Amino acid sequence: MHTKKTSLFIISLISLALQGVAQVEKFPVPVPDSKQLFYLQRTSNTNTIVYELNLQNGTIDKENPVKEYWIRYQEKGQREDLNYIQRKFAYGIKSKKIAENQYELSFVSYKKYKMILKLAADNKFYVYTNINQKPVILNRIFIKINGGSFWSPNVEYVEISGTDPSTHSMVKERLKI
């Protein structure tokens, strides 16, 4: 038999849990287009970094196959290029051609995490990574930051989300960095 105190406690817990879910859902999802590969979000604000296929005259730029830019949701939702420091030390992508229409990618700030940009059977480019030790198409990276500074943020975890290419189901993995 529940007492009034127990009922209020349970309602409070449910309310707190729902607030946590609502907070996560506050992050906007960029409207995908044919060039978008994946996007990155972090807890400091809702501004989002989009990574897209860099095309020159309709073909992939072999020197720089991925272009990154902000969607500044905290302002007017405008698109804005990353500045030099953001591109060279934080959110930029380094690429290396490893085969025809295939590139190894890594973040300039975390070279250990490897991704592969490659042309798939449907004649579209996708970024592949491993989630739960299985190759998937990368959709989103979410970084949970708890303090620190720009040069040395305290990253609690990184959540990687993607699509299993064989089942088309969404998969996630949370990594401690």
**Comparison of pLDDT for 33 and 20, the residue scoring more:** 33
**12: pLDDT strictly greater than 90:** no
Query: pLDDT exceeding 90 applies to what percent of the chain?
Result: 77
Q: How far apart are CA 122 and CA 58, in angstroms?
A: 17
Does residue 134 have a pLDDT over 80?
Answer: yes
Non-local (6+) Cβ contacts of 127 within 8 A are 37, 38, 51, 66, 105, 115, 116, 117, 137, 138
> Which pLDDT band holds residue 11 (cuts at 50, 70, 90)?
very low
Contact 67, 52 (CB under 8 A): yes
pLDDT of 19 above 60: no
Q: How confident is the model at residue 150 (pLDDT cuts 50, 70, 90)?
A: confident
Query: Which has more confidence, 14 or 57?
Result: 57
Beta bridge partners of 177: none
pLDDT surpassing 50 at residue 7: no
* Residues 83-132: tens digit of each pLDDT: 999 999 999 999 999 999 999 999 999 999 999 999 999 999 999 999 99
pLDDT, position 177? 78
CB half-sphere exposure, 108, CA atoms < 13 A: 14
Longest alpha-carbon distance in the chain: 71
Average pLDDT of the chain to the nearest whole number: 87
pLDDT at position 55 is 94
